[in-house]
Structure 1
Amino acid sequence: MLGIGVTALVLNACSQKDCEPTAAAAPMATKENVKPIQWKLVTTWPKNFPGLGTAPERFAKDVERMSNGRLKIKVFGGGELVPPLEVFDAVSQGTAQAGHGAAYYWKGKVPAAQFFATVPFGLTAQEYNGWMHYGGGLALWRETYKPFGLVPYAAGNTGVQMGGWFNKEINSLSDLEGLKMRIPGLGGEVLQRAGGTPVNLPGGEIFTALQTGTIDATEWVGPYNDLATGLHKVAKFYYYPGWHEPGTALELIVNEKALKALPEDLQAIVEVAARAANQDMLDEYTARNNVALTELVDQHGVQVKRFPDDVIKALHKISDEVVAEIAGQDEMAKKVYDSFVEFRDRVVPYHELSEKAYIDARAQ
């Protein structure tokens, strides 16, 4: 009875004019009453390639679903709209509103970009995400891309990769001399210092290049992607660990003008969908790599080998020198490098007591 009395008082206090609907009470935007915004997203990956290529597709679906169809994104695989290694320029120039790839592909025009993909003997995926979202990495990344009119987001991580595919055994550092190997980013710089020849190729060209002898060896990602690419058909030895890519991050880059033209809620949806894609990819690789490796070994006879300790030690020494030198040649790269090293030096001692100590204990 008390509720009925209160309701009556409210209705009596409200005149007909006061109680009429206002503009503020307009219905929520829906697919039926708002024309959707259309975006193009270009990638460096083959269309729907497992993991790497499906991540931007999931991102686009998440954005459309969360926005109730107000923002629709059409995904183009590498070469469908622009060549794979021209994604950065295409989004910067507005040919597409967004892109998905790996930051080390742009090292020729943005030396600092390499640090936002992966650093040899650097951060793992978990450590990278900590630096990116709570250690200042993302702010530096956006500062780096600002002159190009781009806003970057972390949008995927493969975890620790494999060391690569070879048709000869690697028993010493001298076996890398004269080796033509598909290996991008800072890892390629290290290989060059060790006497090899790094080659930067998009994923869709690797198999043919190795098959025809254009390259002698290649790294790609890990068992899940390498099996799908068929690299076991053109190479005999599969090496680990992936010293060159300990936690490779993928990026979503968005044209800054296109992003700012969106309402705030759609901007937030893009951000949250990218964050979801970032975690989802790592989850998928963690689940699928072990299954794919078993198939490579048991069904295809792949020989899995570990790089000799002296090779790893030599590559580590070279890596430290190369990374520091590159940082010293570019002001922005130096700024990013200093932040990266500061975070690494803080997080590694703790992980020695936590992650690594636990994994060592579990193995006993």
Structure 2
Amino acid sequence: MTEKPQSPSEKILASRRAFMQKAGLGGVALGASTLAAPAIVKAQAPIKWRLQTYSGAPLGAHVIKPQIEAFNAAANGEMEIELYYADQLVPTAELFRAMQNGTIDAVQSDDATMASPVDISVFGGYFPFATRYSLDVASMFMYYGLDKIWAEAYGEVDNVTWLSTGAWDPLHIFTVNEPIRSLADMRGKRVFGVPTAGRFLARYGLIPVTVPWDDVEVAMRTGELDGVAWCGFTEAYEVGWADVCNYALTNSITGAWFGSYFANTESWNKVPPHLQQLFKSTIDQSHYYRNVWYWGGEAKLRVEGEKMELTQIPTEEWNQVVKDAEGFWDEIAGQSERCAKVVEIFKQYAAVQEAAGYPYR
């Protein structure tokens, strides 16, 4: 029997999954060979954790499952983390409280989506035009002090420890039946989206709608949603939304999502130092894989993906959106002294990138 030839997008997805295997992130065996410690017989029972991610299972297979599998293999029986996907144990909006009270031990999410009760939560997820590239996130945490600000903010919250922040994909808008070719075309469109970007885009008439992650595709098929403003091309193809949406807006609201790992402090303090370090190391490993998976996939799927028609808002109109974002930044900066520090870092970083020129800007 003749095999059906792969479509362009299927070839791209297959090649990126192969990369995950080569990078040592696609299976327990590879993760174990990279990180395994010498075998030690332990009399006590292993430490058990439950971790829930913001993402559904298809996306979670890339953004967290390989990391958890690698950690469990390398922990050598001393600790085991059970992974749960979006809404499986608690609704996503209740993730923070569930972690704080010990219902779950750890979380992977952005601050805003899980309703963190800190002033800087507004910057989690997609903050309009704060980044252009995924490496912008890591650079601002490493060189500009965002790490200290995040640690300070969560240090004021009982029983929650912030561990690490990394970058995900850029934010695009994908629609089912009606293309967006101007700002006016946004008006009245109901989209599944992240909080801060939705708040900003609402000024152009876009209507952010919250539904469980697993219900998004059905909601688009039934007409409850007109599209998504949640992710980039990589996720749209990987989770099947590109099979429902016919149009993709190439204007990006921001270049990368801010996503973090958090732990219940009591649970974290019960983990011995060597396993704490192992968990942090596998987080870094996950950040690395995710950066490459998204960066390469975004470009190839935008150019070679065949499932959605690309549209664009004219430059003169889009320049107004960029200008409006400056006022939005100032609005958020006025919410607290710490928010003002974050916005100032965004401005400083952007100025340095512009001054550095190619390949930074």
Tell me, yes or no, whether TM beats 0.5: yes
1:273-310 deviation digits (Å, cap 9, x = unpaired): 2111111111122344455456641xx4x211222213
Deviates more, 1:224-233 or 1:126-135: 224-233
Q: d(CA) in 1 for partners of 2:266 and 2:39?
A: 23
1:69 aligns with 2:73: no
Give, in angstroms, the shift of residue 242 of structure 1.
1.8
Distance, in Å, in 2 between the alignment partners of 1:41 and 1:341 is 35
**Partner SS, residue 64 of structure 2:** helix
Mapping 1:1-364, distance limit 5 Å: 30-47=40-57, 49-50=58-59, 52-106=60-114, 109-123=117-131, 124-146=133-155, 147-154=157-164, 156-243=166-253, 245-290=254-299, 292-293=301-302, 296-297=305-306, 300=307, 302-350=308-356, 352-356=357-361
- Point out the more displaced range, 130-139 or 173-182: 173-182
* 3-state secondary structure, aligned to 1:304: strand
Shift of 1:53: 4.2
> In the alignment, what sits opposite 1:21?
none
CA contact (8 A) 1:92 1:150 kept: yes
Structure 1, 225-234 or 78-87: larger mean CA deviation: 225-234
CA distance in 1, matches of 2:311, 2:338: 38
The whole-number CA distance in structure 2 between the counterparts of 1:232 and 1:114 is: 28
Amino acid in the other structure paired with 2:240: G
Contact 2:174/2:249, CA 8 A, preserved across alignment? yes
Q: Deviations over 1:72-112 (max 9, x none)?
A: 10101122211233222211111111111222314574341
Match of 1:24 in 2: none
Query: CA 1:197–1:78 in structure 2 vs 1: closer, same or farther (change >3 Å)?
Result: same
Distance 1:100 1:216, change over 3 A: same
Matches of 1:137 and 1:60 in 2, distance apart? Answer: 26
What amino acid sits opposite 2:277 in the alignment? A
State the SS of the aligned residue for 2:83. strand
Residue identity in the other structure for 1:59: Q
Does 330-339 or 263-272 show the bigger shift?
Answer: 330-339
Conservation of the 8 A alpha-carbon contact between 1:236 and 1:303: yes
CA distance in 1, matches of 2:213, 2:196: 18
Q: Take 1:202 and 1:125, find their aligned partners in 2: how far apart are those partners?
A: 26
What is the DSSP-based 3-state SS (H/G/I as helix, E as strand, rest coil) of the residue aligned with 2:130? coil
Task: Output the TM-score relative to the length of structure 2.
Answer: 0.80
Any conservation in 2 of the 1:326–1:333 contact (CA below 8 Å)?
yes
**Mean Cα deviation higher: 88-97 or 197-206:** 197-206
TM-score normalised according to structure 1 size: 0.79
Task: Give, in whole Å, the separation in 1 of the partners of 2:178 and 2:344.
Answer: 38
Q: Is the 8 A contact 1:104 1:115 kept in 2?
A: yes
Q: Distance in 1 between matches of 2:332 and 2:211?
A: 21
User: Within 2, Cα distance between the matches of 1:97 and 1:80?
Assistant: 14
Question: Which residue identity lines up with residue 358 of structure 2 in the other structure?
Answer: L
CA distance in 2 between counterparts of 1:195 and 1:294 reads 29
SS state of the match for residue 104, structure 1?
A: coil
CA gap of 1:66–1:155, structure 2 versus 1, over 3 A, is farther
Q: Where does the alignment leave 5 or more consecutive residues of structure 2 unmatched?
A: 1-37
Distance in 2 between residues matched to 1:145 and 1:231, nearest whole Å: 34
Distance 2:173 2:274 in 1: 42
Q: Deviations over 1:117-173 (max 9, x none)?
A: 332112221111011123211121122222143222345533334343353233332
Cα distance 1:247–1:288, how it changes in 2: closer, same or farther (>3 A)?
Answer: same
